[in-house]
């Protein structure tokens, strides 16, 4: 059985669920807790899967993109207006509402890719061994509700 670790980050972000029948179709925000679970069959020379600081360094850009942003469906009639007004703080979800499930998948893919890119960086502060795998991303929308994505 592989070793596993979990690292949690918090981001303040909003979303608009334009297809939702209730109040969630209006702009609203959450303090999202993002949990990343990683695994490896072996430990590195320090007895770790990966240093937790390496995760913060490797994934900083991905997570910062979500902090103080609003996620929107590109089909939302207000998308172009919001994008024009707030630029990179509006995160586009092509033709789909940015539910917590969809955000979890998006974060999974981005974090997986950024971790791999960090592993290959010759100037990386921390070493990430080749066998480290991202297992799942869990996004807490509230203290009682989360969505999760894994491959």
Residues forming a β-bridge with 72: 92
| 2 phi/psi in degrees, rounded to 5 | -75, 160
In the block, tokens 């539910």 appear at 99
Cα of first residue to Cα of last residue in the chain, in angstroms, is 18
pLDDT by residue, tens only, the chain of 151 residues = 799 999 999 999 999 999 999 999 999 999 999 999 999 999 999 999 999 999 999 999 889 999 999 999 999 999 999 999 999 999 999 999 999 999 999 999 999 999 999 999 999 999 999 999 999 999 999 999 999 999 9
C-alpha 94/C-alpha 63 separation (Å) is 19
Residues forming a β-bridge with 70: 14, 90
C-alpha 36/C-alpha 76 separation (Å) is 30
The domain limits of the chain are 3-68+100-149
CATH code given to domain 3-68+100-149:
3.30.479.10
């Amino acid at each position: 059985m592989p070793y596993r670790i979990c690292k949690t980050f918090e981001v303040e972000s909003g979303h608009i669920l334009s297809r939702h029948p209730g109040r969630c179709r209006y702009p609203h925000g959450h303090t999202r807790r993002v949990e990343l679970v990683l695994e490896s069959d072996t430990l590195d020379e320090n007895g770790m899967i990966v240093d937790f600081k390496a995760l913060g360094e490797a994934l900083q850009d991905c997570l910062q993109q979500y902090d103080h942003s609003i996620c929107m469906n590109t089909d939302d009639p207000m998308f172009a207006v919001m994008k024009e007004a707030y630029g990179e703080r509006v995160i586009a979800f092509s033709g789909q509402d940015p539910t917590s499930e969809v955000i979890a998948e998006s974060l999974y893919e981005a974090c997986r890719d950024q971790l791999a890119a960090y592993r290959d960086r010759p100037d990386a502060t921390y070493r990430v061994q080749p066998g480290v795998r991202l297992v799942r991303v869990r996004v807490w929308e509230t203290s009682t509700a989360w969505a999760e994505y894994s491959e």
